[in-house]
A = this chain, B = another copy of it.
Amino acid sequence: MKPRWLLAPVLLALAGIAAGMVWVDWSKGGDGSGIYSREWQPDPVQGYWDPDRFYQPVQSVEGKFPAAECIACHEALTPGIVADWRESRHSKPAARAPVACPDCHGDDHRALRMPTPKACANCHGVQHDAMQAEKHYGFPSHALAMERAVDSKHFADKPKAETTACVQCHSVATKCDSCHTRHRFDAAEARRAEACTTCHSGPPHPDDEAFYASAHGRKYLAEAAATDWSKPLKKGNYTVPTCAYCHMRNGQHVVADKSIWGFGLRQVNPQTAENRIKRERWLEVCRDCHDEETARAALVGLDRERERAWQGLHRTERLLRGLRSEQAFYPAAGERPPYPTDWMERWWPKERIGFFEGQASAFYNVSPIERDYFEMWYFANLGAYKGAAHGAPNMVEAGHARLQQAETGIASQAAELRTRTGKARPDPRPLWLEGEYTVHNRDHN
């Protein structure tokens, strides 16, 4: 073979890379955002969740206004936000002129801006840079919350009614008032547990529920009203634990730096070199109030809880893989709609089990047994994890009760599906594929 033929694969690869870059660039040029931007249309409210990309200023008011005029008018129109601003340090900083409306929104009413983290970084550079530094820790992290959401296949696949709700929380990456409620922007308020719970609550991430059910949350509830929240989150300043005190030690805005288990989505080896370092960082936090041995013992309890939960999840996933190889799913691949963004699947139907084989959110377009596994993993597992991590014994009990119930239920369904495999069974396609059920998700996205 002549040496020049060796160039062929190299050239092909280079052409492929170039084509990929062009394709990604093209795919981001649609009405939405992210690499599936051509697959969805933004809802109007999206302008507030991701203002940099989608905010459209109101055109009915024309003119450029100094702060005093903004305030004069909005005091009558929207007194709530003006009152909040008057309460804020922005309205009366120690050693400079007030930070007022035009400083963040601009002074031209037809070109108003909704401020993004970049706008806040003009003064709060340390916090902004720390938050951006989270990107080194990958996802889940606040800094990548919006980007990774819109770049994921199920963002384009899921019904718009749901993704609009998703993005409300994922907007933590694209605006600062997710935690620092506008227009008071009070650090004292962001230090309290309430600042986190609008998003960190609900079945797949019940941090809210776990914290308040724990002795930590109980102490917070009993003492919060009598605590001075204006102090920095430093050792010795607080006797009451909160989300921010432990996860944002010393007020630094890298929240992902001690993240060992992430959101509990994957099994993790807590004994890697990196995770051992992170554990020491946790213990440093715990030691502000606890003797180190207590804290270490509690974390061993968490390790064991996680190990137990994953044993069940792995057993169940192996069972599902077995069913797939026996072609026992009902409806099977090809008998249910492919994912809209998954064009390969039209030609090569394939069951993907759980989240990590790429089956988007697995709430849709899967057979009941696969859905049950998804809920076992996404709801029961994460509830148990959050309970164990925050010290809420009742959530550990309830989570493992649900894990075990799911495992038993899936085993029963599997036995039933196996008795029917290979035998004549009603064609599921009229109901599931051509019919209205296991609905094709592309819902005017």
Contacts and interface: CB of A to CB of B under 8 A. Distances in A.
Band of interface residues on A:
35 or more
A109 to B, nearest CB: 11
Interface stretch (A145-153, A192-200, A347-355): A192-200
Nearest to A306: B161
A124 interface: no
A268 interface: no
A271 interface: no
A218 B181 contact: yes
A160 interface: yes
Interface string A309-349: 10110010011000000000000000000000000000000
Contact of A426 (B184, B368, B418): B418
A166 interface: yes
A214 B198 contact: yes
Nearest to A74: B291
B161 A309 contact: yes
A382 to B, nearest CB: 12
A388 interface: yes
Contacts of A288: 78-80
A235 interface: yes
A388 B165 contact: yes
Contacts of A16: none
B48 A297 contact: yes
B197 A218 contact: yes
B181 A80 contact: no
Interface stretch (A2-10, A21-29, A255-263, A435-443): A435-443
Interface string A30-65: 000000000000011101100000000010000000
Contact of A235 (B79, B165, B368, B438): B79
Given A301-B45, A315-B437, A393 B169 contact: yes
A63 B238 CA distance: 30
A251 interface: no
Contact of A300 (B44, B199, B375, B391): B44
A20 to B, nearest CB: 33
Contacts of A311: 443
B301 A43 contact: yes
A308 B342 CA distance: 22
A45 B300 contact: yes
A358 interface: no
Nearest to A208: B213
Given A58-B291, A428-B415, A397 B162 contact: yes
A83 interface: yes
A164 B294 CA distance: 14
Contact of A297 (B47, B307, B363, B375): B47
Interface string A187-210: 001001011011101111100100
A408 interface: yes
Interface of A: 43-45, 47-48, 58, 77-81, 83-84, 87, 159-162, 164-166, 168-169, 181, 184, 189, 192, 194-195, 197-199, 201-205, 208, 213-215, 217-219, 221-223, 225, 235-236, 238-239, 287-291, 293-294, 296-298, 300-301, 304-305, 307-309, 311-312, 315, 318-319, 363-364, 368, 371, 375, 387-388, 391-398, 400-401, 404-405, 407-409, 411-412, 414-415, 418-419, 426, 428, 431-432, 436-439, 443
User: What 7 A-B pairs come out closest when comparing CB atoms?
Assistant: A202-B394, A80-B289, A44-B297, A79-B236, A161-B308, A165-B396, A165-B393
